[in-house]
Amino acid sequence: MINRLRVKQKLLGISSAALLLFLLIALDVIFGGRLAVFDQIVHRCSLGWHTPLWDQIIYALTHLGNLSTMLFYSLLVTILLSWKKMWRELRLYWFGMLGSAMLFSSIKELVDRPRPSSYIGDFHQHGYSFPSGHATMSMTFALLLFVLFYPKLSEGYQRLLVFFCLLFPVLIALSRVYLGVHYFSDILAGMTLGIFWVTLMVWVFQARLD
């Protein structure tokens, strides 16, 4: 009971810290603070990093975080959790994924930040820039995989899962900056938003067990 209470306190602390960081980033972007200036510097620098080979690699990488790909991942997770009859975990997964998608979509409309005007080749994205949906959803997906499957794996597979959950959202997020369709603050906000939402959902589900 004491251990579960500590876990819930840590979850709430992480969720609160992530929300605070997200709000600070959002306020800086809205009011044109120092982070917004840093965004322009990173964006201009990123335009000079390109080679044909890297462009092809990053094109392929960023598609791993597309909506259609995320739906495919979610189908696989749903099949696995249903096969194992892990209904509570399945509910947590879909609350996490759908809630995160609704959250970042709503915030995009509220903040109304235009995307960078310079992008690579024909890779043009429509809609608003802040926060990055790819960064939000890749972080959400990775954290949910960690929460749902880490306790059930052997030590070797646990290490592989941790490696994937750290690398996947970071690479997806950075690919958006490389392609010129997001600013650095967009991906930073997206990742913190994903952390906030998943830890909040896990805290809620833990509270329902008490």
Burial 114-130 (b: 16+ CB within 10 A, else e): ebbeeebeeeebeebbb
Between CA 95 and CA 101 the distance in angstroms is 10
Q: Identify the CA nearest to 47 among candidates 118, 151, 130, 132.
A: 118
pLDDT, position 34: 86
Task: Tell me whether residue 34 is exposed, middle or buried, using C-beta atoms within 10 angstroms of its C-beta: 0 to 12, 13 to 18, 19 or more.
Answer: exposed
* pLDDT score at 114: 86
Q: Are 42 and 183 in contact (CB under 8 A)?
A: yes
Q: What is the pLDDT of residue 208?
A: 65
**3-state helix/strand/coil string of 52-116:** HHHHHHHHHHHHCCCHHHHHHHHHHHHHHHHHCCCHHHHHHHHHHHHHHHHHHHHHHHHHCCCCC
Note the pLDDT of residue 180: 84
Residue numbers in the chain where pLDDT is lower than 70: 1-2, 4, 118-125, 207-210
The ranges assigned to domains in the chain are 2-209
> What's the confidence (pLDDT) of residue 128?
84
Task: Please write the tens of the pLDDT for every residue from 58-93.
Answer: 888 999 999 899 999 999 999 999 998 989 999 999
Alpha-carbon distance of 70 to 144, in angstroms, equals 13
**pLDDT value, residue 195:** 97
* Per-residue pLDDT, 188: 96
Nearest to 188 by CA among 36, 16, 13: 36
Record the tokens describing residue 167, joined without a space. Answer: 């690398």
Q: How does pLDDT run across 161-187, given as a tens digit for each residue?
A: 999 999 999 999 999 998 888 899 999
Q: Which residues touch 85 (CB under 8 Å, ≥6 apart)?
A: none
Q: Is 22 within 8 Å of 192 (Cβ atoms)?
A: yes
